[in-house]
Amino acid sequence: MGSKRPARREFLKSGAALAGGFALGGAAPAIGQTPSSPPMLKGDKDLIAYGERSRFVTSVRIAHGGRPSPDGFGLVFHVASPLQDSVGVITPSSLHFVGTTRGSYIPEIDPQEHRLMIHGMVDRPLTFTMEDLKRLPSVTRLHFIECAGNRTSPKAKTVQETHGMTSCAEWTGVPLSLLLKECGLKGSASWFVAEGSEEVKGASSIPIGKGMDDCLVAYGMNGEALRPQQGFPLRLMVPGFEGIFHTKYLRRIKVTDRYYMNYNDYGHLDRESDEAALGFQIGPKSVITFPSGGQQLPGRGFYEIRGLAWSGGGAVRKVEVSTDGGKRWNDAEIKGTAQRMAHARFTYQWNWDGNETELLSRCTDELGSVQPSRAQVAKFFNKPLDESFSVPGLDNTIQPWRIASDGSVRNGNA
């Protein structure tokens, strides 16, 4: 902490002074007096063999409202992560959002039986077992996945509902470029189709340049094997591209000389050409996770505003926070070193004066792209900014959270 910045004790004191006697935290036992010991956890097999969180921690994923299965299966389509309770940049595997194009169907795959075949416009088609893949040189990288449908809506109340279809994990696997080189690409190779193991393959066409650049065939997540919900035993990571390209249960890669139309194109075919030109890549984006919709500030005084920022264009370079509805923008602090195509945690120290206001955050990525407001996007598409306005294509607009004078927080787009 810099010498000019007041020490924590003074923060708390000034908070108390500002709020007229409001204190942070409850009454502590006097010095020298020991609090009574809590009861002991039972030496339960479940707690020792694998581990569980405390029963006092209850944050869970929820079905993402208003996202029915696109083909009418009517099952849970996408499941959102509780960002309002998140800390740091890693989403615990148990809380990573889940995206399934055909409802809550998750195949159970025996890794001994699983194969990855690479064929098409290659010199040597090859088939890999999981054991083969694990013998190859590996990389470990932090990356977010975000569903293209992760959009704010005036009706959504919490950050889990507006932004919970993004998550960030540490992924381990083999660079796809290494496998493609083993197979030898033919000169005409320009796309590849990645296919999952389900009845409906979850296949997507991806430019071969992206495959050679930074795609990953991942078997590890947050220090252990992938979870079934995340594609056990093998998934494709396509850093910075829409979630739908990150093929789970990966079993086949066909190298092609053209775009192949697949089931996954359901969401992309009817786009306007200027929307389609926005491409597969997620734009610079950020959201304040605390304070966020549905939360309640206990009173005026000191708060650390916290949020997440990310971009498909690379690392987050800068995040700004406004505490007055966008009149002034202040640089937020980015915790640690921002990684490419990964969530970055930002914070901003704020003394709330108790008046109604609006909190905003704005991300700039390493390409210099800046997160737009909904008003800017509406103007770009020449549409009125009313209740019915929905951002075309990927929605990376600034999320406003309105703080009422009673400390309640709600969606500023409502």
Ligand X SMILES: Nc1nc2c(c(=O)[nH]1)N[C@H]1C(S)=C(S)[C@@H](COP(=O)(O)O)O[C@H]1N2
**For ligand X, the closer CB: 46 or 199:** 199
- Cβ 165 to ligand X, closest distance in Å? 7
- Cβ 147 to ligand X, closest distance in Å? 3
Positions 146 through 175 that interact with Mo ion (CB under 5 A): 147
- Cβ 147 to Mo ion, closest distance in Å? 3
Question: If binding is defined by CB under 6 A, does position 198 make contact with ligand X?
Answer: yes
Look at residue 230 and give the partner it binds from ligand X, Mo ion, none, a contact being a CB closer than 5 to 8 Å depending on partner kind: ligand X
Rule CB under 5 A: choose which of 99, 164, 240, 283 binds Mo ion: 99
**For ligand X, the closer CB: 15 or 240:** 240
Q: Max CA-CA distance within the chain?
A: 77
Contact mark string toward ligand X, 218..257, x via CB under 6 A: -----------xx------------xx-xxxx--------
DSSP assignment string, 233-266: T-EEE-TTB-GGGS-SS--EEEEESSPPP-GGGG
The 3-state DSSP class for residue 83 equals: helix
Question: If binding is defined by CB under 6 A, does position 196 make contact with ligand X?
Answer: yes
Look at residue 96 and give the partner it binds from Mo ion, ligand X, none, a contact being a CB closer than 5 to 8 Å depending on partner kind: ligand X
Question: If binding is defined by CB under 6 A, does position 114 make contact with ligand X?
Answer: no
Strand partners, 120: 255
Torsion, Cα of 89, 94, 97, 101 (10° steps): 150
* Span near ligand X by CB under 6 A; candidates 47-55, 194-202, 305-313, 327-335: 194-202
Helices within 118-207 (DSSP H only): 130-135, 159-163, 176-183
Question: If binding is defined by CB under 5 A, does position 243 make contact with Mo ion?
Answer: yes
Q: How far is CA 391 from CA 70, 139, 149, 224, 388, in A?
A: 19, 36, 11, 37, 10
Number of residues located near ligand X, criterion CB under 6 A: 20
The 3-state DSSP class for residue 131 equals: helix
Angle subtended at Cα 260 by Cα 259 and Cα 264, rounded to the nearest 5 degrees? 110
Q: Residue 105 corresponds to which tokens in the numbers above?
A: 């169907």
Q: Which residue is nearest to ligand X (CB)?
A: 196
